[in-house]
Amino acid sequence: MSIQVNPNFIRKIKSYGANKINLCFNCGNCTATCPFSYKFDSIIPRKLIRYAVIGAEDIVSAAPEAWLCYECEDCSTLCPRQANPNVIIRAIKKYAIARYSGPLYWFTEKMMTSLSALIGINILLAIVFSLLIATVLALGYGVMDLNAVDLAAFLPPEYIHDFGLLLGAYIGVMLINGLYTQWKLMRNYFTQQTKKRNWISAIIGTLIDEIVTQKRHLYCGSKHRWVAHFLILWGFLGLGLATFLSFLFNKDFSYYPPIIPDLNKVSTASLWEFIESLSLQLISFIGMISGIALLIGLMIMIYRKVVGLTFENHFSDWYFVVLLAIADISGLLTLAGRALSLIPWVYYFYVIHLISVAILIIMAPFSRFAHSVYRFFTILLLKRNNYA
């Protein structure tokens, strides 16, 4: 098989954070220490690093092995040249995310390789969403009740619901485009296998391994990393579930304290009304617990980055963590503000939360969030083809 070489590819990988890739002299120590090289019968990370060094861009783009790296950092700890192999693989994954974005490749690359571009687009998005909120307020809304918190009077729920549907459609289109592009690049790798597992078995197995238990993070030997990823993923999914259920059943954004039955309604409300109230309180409880779990997971991850337990943090590694923390903290403060009637602060928290969540959704396909989606799809294909 002939290999097309791009002599500028190594420079491109460096721009994604692999600053020490030239130090690698292909000794293979990283592969010898990688637990996943045995689990998946592969030779990561040595193979991918070698292909990146020689400029085999198409092979690196199509290789599923990049998504089999869980960044346990054993390879970097034991690298005799301090080339930090896990950082190189992380950079390759960022490049792959940009490549999967198809027509938005140039934009994605700028977001991941240029700090000024990343800051600029986020400032622009913050201004745009602030102007949208200001426009809604100028239409006669923006009533800041100083006696009781009323977010529905402040910003109309129907506008937020409609905008949420637009963001949901945007994520759906971006997800389909990214996964389709990933499949086009990887399909030659998988079509060689003739004995295939059925899709249902592959999906269930992937859900258990990558979502429910996230057990492969335990192969790395660091329970702190597993705890952080477990809390972040489940906290994020829980908040998504609470938001979806609230969208369906709490369209007026009424406040229901988490799992605190309103005893005044026990004797006055019908059984159905009381069950409905408890159900909405349960949604609020799911959101509160998920938000706290997400915050704890983020704190563990930030601590590891700050004290140097991870190798070479690129600015793009910090971006999604910080943005997710802002969205989560502002949401928890909004919930606390409603419970404690922190007027007028609750309204300010609410605006910050809406803007940060909107930016988070817009930027998700170009950030580390996409990492989890593409890894899940890769593991699914591997299970389907009996490689994992």
Domain 9-100 falls under CATH 3.40.50.10540: no
* Closest among 323, 288, 318, 290 to 305, alpha carbons compared: 318
What is the residue type of 293?
A: A
Radius of gyration of the chain (CA): 23
With tokens 């909405």, the residue in question is 280
Which tens digits make up the pLDDT trace of 87-124? 999 999 999 999 998 888 898 899 899 999 999 999 99
285 neighbors 279 (Cβ within 8 angstroms) = no
The pTM is what?
0.88
pLDDT for position 40 = 57
Q: How far is CA 5 from CA 44, 174, 266, 283, in A?
A: 20, 29, 73, 54
The full set of domain ranges for the chain reads: 9-100, 115-384
Take residue 379 and report the two structure tokens written for it: 């593991």
At 332, which helix (H) or strand (E)?
Answer: helix 315-340
Which tens digits make up the pLDDT trace of 124-173? 999 999 999 998 888 877 777 778 888 888 888 888 888 989 999 999 99
Q: Is the pLDDT of residue 263 over 60?
A: no
